[in-house]
Amino acid sequence: MNAALSIMIFDENRIRAAIIEEGLREAGHTHVVVLHDIVGLARQIELIGPDVIVIDIETPNRDMLEHLFQLTRSVRKPIAMFVDRSDTLSIEAAVEAGVSAYVVDGLRKERVKPILDMAVSRFKAFSRLQQELADAKSALEERKIIDRAKGILMKSRKLTEDEAYALLRQTAMNEKKKLADIAQSVVMAAAILGS
């Protein structure tokens, strides 16, 4: 893991936070910020802008976990969470909230770095998958718009499918625009004209 990463630790227990901080500093991390108060935590994360977040909860209760899970859903950062005890529902909620590493009863300073490395790697892999999914959805939407535009051109100008596609493509090249943008214009114009 890159030692220049900015790491934020949240732990209400100062002794446990010191264990995590020491583990990170021994691993060469110098940009470490420790927070102890859950009040205003979202604002602090926004101000600090950490690359990675470590959350430790010695004795988690349902409300605190739910609050932290809501927070993790919104920050879009690698998050490693240490808890002393857990149950199946909490583990499922952590995964659903996007927690990259959820470690039960495993807080030791020599374990902090490898767990953080894994959390960052897992977050990157998950982010890549999310981007690929978003790209695939976008390509599918563009394909649908192009098909609709082809249908409009085929009907209004009595073209074959290949001719309609060629017309869209040639127009896109002439206008130096994406094929999907030209198709969107055709669909929008047809809607306005009621054709």
pLDDT of residue 1: 56
Contact indicator for 69, 99 with CB cutoff of 8 Å: yes
pLDDT of residue 38: 84
pLDDT of residue 67: 80
* Residue pLDDT tens, the chain, 195 long: 566 889 999 998 999 999 999 999 998 999 999 999 888 888 888 899 999 999 998 776 777 777 877 887 778 889 998 888 888 888 888 888 878 888 888 788 888 888 889 889 999 998 999 999 999 999 999 999 999 999 999 999 999 999 999 999 999 999 999 999 999 999 999 999 886
Contact indicator for 149, 172 with CB cutoff of 8 Å: no
Q: What is the 3-state secondary structure (H, E, C) of 119-188?
A: HHHHHHHHHHHHHHHHHHHHHHHHHHHHHHHHHHHHHHHCCCHHHHHHHHHHHHHHHCCCHHHHHHHHHH
- How far apart are alpha carbons 155 and 186 in whole angstroms? 12
Q: Between the CA of residue 28 and those of 7, 25, 31, 35, 178, what are the distances in Å? A: 12, 5, 9, 20, 47
pLDDT of residue 146: 97
Encoded tokens for 120: 């960052």
Q: Between the CA of residue 27 and those of 83, 88, 98, what are the distances in Å? A: 22, 32, 25
